[in-house]
Structure formats: C-alpha cells, structure tokens
Amino acid sequence: MNRPTFLRSLALTGLFARAILPATTGFALSTILKPRRLQPGDTVGLVNPAGATFQTVDIEIIKESLQALGLQVLPGDHVLDRYGYLAGKDSDRAEDVNRMFADPSVKALLCVRGGWGSNRILPLLDYECIRKNPKIIMGYSDATSLLVALYAECGLVTFHGPVGISTWNSFSTDYVKRILMEGESAILRNPATPGDTLAQTKDRIEVITPGRARGRCVGGNLSVLASMIGSPYLPDWEHHILFLEETDEQIYRVDRMLTQLKLAGILGKLAGVVFGKCTNCGPGEGYGSLTLEEVFRDHIKPLGVPAWSGAMIGHIENKFTIPIGIEVEIDAQQGTIQMLEPAVQ
C-alpha cells in the first residue's frame, strides 16, 4: 500500500486523527478540564482524604493562612474524624470530597495533610459529578492518589502543591497565587542564592541527562505512584513529563520503586523526568549502599530523555505548585519547568 492510500485508510478508521496528536492520556485531549481560577472571597473546602489530624489548632492555622490570601474556608464534615491512623472511615472521607465538588459555593478543595489512605477512597469517588464540576484540588504526598486519579479518570487539571498544614511561606505562596489565582503560565525555577558561601550549596540541581522536552506534566510521590500500578487510576504515560519526590525511604527502596515503574513499562514511555527532593533518604545500615546519583544513573539516564534532580518538589518548606495535566517544557540543564499554558480558566 502506498503512503497516500495508507493515510486515507487511517483517516477513514479515525486512527489518523489520533496519530497526529501527542499521545498522552486515555481520553481525548479536547476533554482536558481546567478549573476556574481562585478569586478573592472564594470558598476553599478542606478535605482530609488520608491521615488523621489530631489537633484542632491545625485547622485554625489553615483557616488563618487562607484568609490571609483573601479566601473563605469551609471544613469538611469529617476533617477531624479518626479511624486508627486514618482521618475517618473510607466512606466518610470520600463523602467529603464528593460533597465539596458537588457544592456550588465551594470553588476549590485543599487537602489538610498527607499520610496514608487516599488510595482506599478512589473507588468511592463520584467521577461523573467531578467531571461536571471541575474545581481546583491541591495537595502532595499521599494526595498524589487523588491528583493523578482525577486527571486519569476525568481529564481534570489538578495541583501538586502545599497541603493545609504546610508552611505557607513567601516562596510557596507566591507560586500558589501566580498559578491558581492569577492564571500565569509560570516558569518553575529553584532559588539561585548562594547566601554566605562562595558557591550555592542548597537547592542545587543535578543534571542527569541534558536537553529540553515537552509533554503533559504528571507525577507526585514515588511510593504512592508505585502503589497505584495495576489500578485503573493511572494515565497513559506516553509523552508525559514525570515528576517525582520521596521522603523517609532508604535508597534501596527508591531503587526498588523505580525498578517497579520500569518493569511496568512506565519509564520507557516518558518524554522527560524531574526528580525533586528525597528528604531523609539515607543508605541505612549494612555493608554499603548505592547513592541516589547511582540509582538515577541506572534507571533514568538510560531512558535518553532530559532529566534532572533537586527540584523544589517534595517534603520541604519551599515548594512549587505544579499543575498536573497541562503542557510544559522542561530544560534539564537549567533545571526549569516552563508552563506552556495557564492551568486555570
């Protein structure tokens, strides 16, 4: 079959339309849902989909922080519930999320904290309601489950950023305001201030593979993503930029989880990789350990795609707000993530 005949046959079957578009998720690109931007006076609903919050003062501090941004706060009915290490029963935690999306007075959802438990409520979410009521939802760590699942299931742009009990300092708050409130197509860049030293020692980037790449940004906590493999709540990873972070894991476990992503066929589909901070990820006891640099060299460098580590993503005070689901361009040599479109309407 010659080329014109082949292309006509593709068009007739509907395959050509898909072939000329970047392969990203399992849904059509036209169904990507951008939430409405936050405006002064808007109400933010607090949800606690994972670990329990033991002190009511945490909720008060969250309220005061959001009010300082000109926002109103509505805590979910179950944010202070406790069921063992969980913030209440699965059905109740899911109910708070569903109710906030259904409530027209609520314009955004903020996860109170991480911990463990968001995976447990994924089958209980009302995805049809969420599609009809796209809203900002933000968190990190265990909230990775919610953010990625809502992107994969609904095409909703979600936000990997501070949780309620995070430190709302100027660095983190600046990205929240620029991306969620001002609708800026921001460039995410580590601070470049050596301080009282001749060379920068903090928040440096380490290039794994130089170069630039474009793709839809998706990611979060490495162990949470690894725990979702085999579920229906992950996207098609083709041509995505994957960002990762981790905390309190020995290096062999980071190695094991990256191996799991590789064996699942995820790493080989990516257009680029950004690894943030691996906080308190030491080698542990024993005869010896690989370094994180060696683990990245084993798993990420052979991909041949632009990649670096050290981005301001993770269990740290100064953190980016990263939209999941929008087109970005990364520059591994510069250590930057450039949003190519606004993440909100």
In this structure, is residue 5 part of a structural domain?
A: no
- Give the dihedral of Cα atoms 50, 141, 328, 336; nearest 10 deg: 160
Within this chain, do residues 104 and 66 fall inside the same structural domain, yes or no?
A: yes
Give the end of a domain, one of 141, 168, 195.
Answer: 168
Within this chain, do residues 302 and 231 fall inside the same structural domain, yes or no?
A: yes
Within this chain, do residues 147 and 202 fall inside the same structural domain, yes or no?
A: no
Mean of pLDDT values over 102-112: 98
Q: Of 65, 95, 118, 141, which residue is the catalytic one?
A: 141
Within this chain, do residues 38 and 67 fall inside the same structural domain, yes or no?
A: yes
pLDDT computed for residue 316 by the predictor: 97
In this structure, is residue 249 part of a structural domain?
A: yes
Query: 291-304: per-residue pLDDT in tens?
Result: 999 999 999 999 99
In this structure, is residue 2 part of a structural domain?
A: no
Within this chain, do residues 38 and 150 fall inside the same structural domain, yes or no?
A: yes
The mean of the pLDDT values for the chain is 92
Please check whether residue 239 is in contact with residue 46, taking contact to mean a CB–CB distance below 8 angstroms: no
Domain of residue 271 covers 187-339
Cα–Cα distance for residue pair 160/139, rounded to 1 Å? 5
Within this chain, do residues 83 and 218 fall inside the same structural domain, yes or no?
A: no
Q: How many Cβ atoms from other residues are within 10 Å of residue 133's Cβ?
A: 17
Please check whether residue 195 is in contact with residue 202, taking contact to mean a CB–CB distance below 8 angstroms: yes
- The count of structural domains within the chain is 2
- The percentage of residues in the chain with a pLDDT greater than 90, rounded to a whole number, is 86
Q: Of 299, 315, 327, 329, which residue is the catalytic one?
A: 315
pLDDT computed for residue 194 by the predictor: 80
In this structure, is residue 163 part of a structural domain?
A: yes
Cα–Cα distance for residue pair 243/220, rounded to 1 Å? 6
Mean of pLDDT values over 218-225: 98
Is 141 part of the annotated catalytic residue set? Answer: yes
Give the end of a domain, one of 133, 168, 203.
Answer: 168
Mean of pLDDT values over 319-330: 98
pLDDT computed for residue 342 by the predictor: 98
Short-list 218, 208, 236, 217, CA closest to 308: 208
Within this chain, do residues 283 and 334 fall inside the same structural domain, yes or no?
A: yes
pLDDT computed for residue 11 by the predictor: 38
Within this chain, do residues 109 and 247 fall inside the same structural domain, yes or no?
A: no
Cα–Cα distance for residue pair 173/168, rounded to 1 Å? 6
pLDDT band at 22 (very low <50, low <70, confident <90, very high): very low
Give the end of a domain, one of 135, 168, 201.
Answer: 168
- Kindly report the CATH number assigned to the domain that includes residue 291: 3.50.30.60
Is 285 part of the annotated catalytic residue set? Answer: no
Is 60 part of the annotated catalytic residue set? Answer: no
Query: 262-282: per-residue pLDDT in tens?
Result: 999 999 999 999 999 999 998
Mean of pLDDT values over 192-217: 93
In this structure, is residue 26 part of a structural domain?
A: no
Mean of pLDDT values over 241-266: 97
For residue 291 the two structure tokens come to: 């370094």
pLDDT computed for residue 283 by the predictor: 86
Mean of pLDDT values over 234-241: 96
Please check whether residue 164 is in contact with residue 113, taking contact to mean a CB–CB distance below 8 angstroms: yes
3-state SS record for the chain: CCHHHHHHHHHHHCHHHHHCCCCCCCCCHHHCECCCCCCCCCEEEEECCCECCCCHHHHHHHHHHHHHCCCEEEECCCCCCCECCECCCHHHHHHHHHHHHHCCCEEEEEECCCCCCHHHHHHHCCHHHHHHCCCEEEECHHHHHHHHHHHHHHCECEEECCCCCCCCCHHHHHHHHHHHHCCCCCEEECCCCCCCCCCCCCCCCEEEECCEEEEEEEEEEHHHHHHHCCCCCCCCCCCEEEEEEEECCCHHHHHHHHHHHHHCCCHHHCCEEEEEEEECCCCCCCCCCCCHHHHHHHHCHHHCCCEEECCCCCCCCCCCCEEECCEEEEECCCCEEEECCCCCC
- Kindly report the CATH number assigned to the domain that includes residue 147: 3.40.50.10740
In this structure, is residue 233 part of a structural domain?
A: yes
In this structure, is residue 296 part of a structural domain?
A: yes
Q: Of 245, 249, 327, 329, which residue is the catalytic one?
A: 245
In this structure, is residue 331 part of a structural domain?
A: yes
Query: 23-77: per-residue pLDDT in tens?
Result: 333 444 458 999 999 999 999 999 999 999 988 999 999 999 999 999 999 999 9
- The percentage of residues in the chain with a pLDDT greater than 70, rounded to a whole number, is 91
Within this chain, do residues 194 and 325 fall inside the same structural domain, yes or no?
A: yes
Q: Is the pLDDT of residue 97 over 50?
A: yes
For residue 326 the two structure tokens come to: 């929008």
Please check whether residue 142 is in contact with residue 221, taking contact to mean a CB–CB distance below 8 angstroms: yes
Query: 145-197: per-residue pLDDT in tens?
Result: 999 999 999 999 999 999 999 999 999 999 999 999 999 999 999 998 888 88
Cα–Cα distance for residue pair 157/134, rounded to 1 Å? 9
Cα–Cα distance for residue pair 106/90, rounded to 1 Å? 22
Contacts of 328 by beta carbon, 8 Å cutoff, 6+ apart: 214, 215, 216, 217, 241, 337, 338, 339, 340
Within this chain, do residues 287 and 205 fall inside the same structural domain, yes or no?
A: yes
Within this chain, do residues 216 and 268 fall inside the same structural domain, yes or no?
A: yes
Mean of pLDDT values over 194-210: 92
Within this chain, do residues 99 and 225 fall inside the same structural domain, yes or no?
A: no
pLDDT computed for residue 1 by the predictor: 46
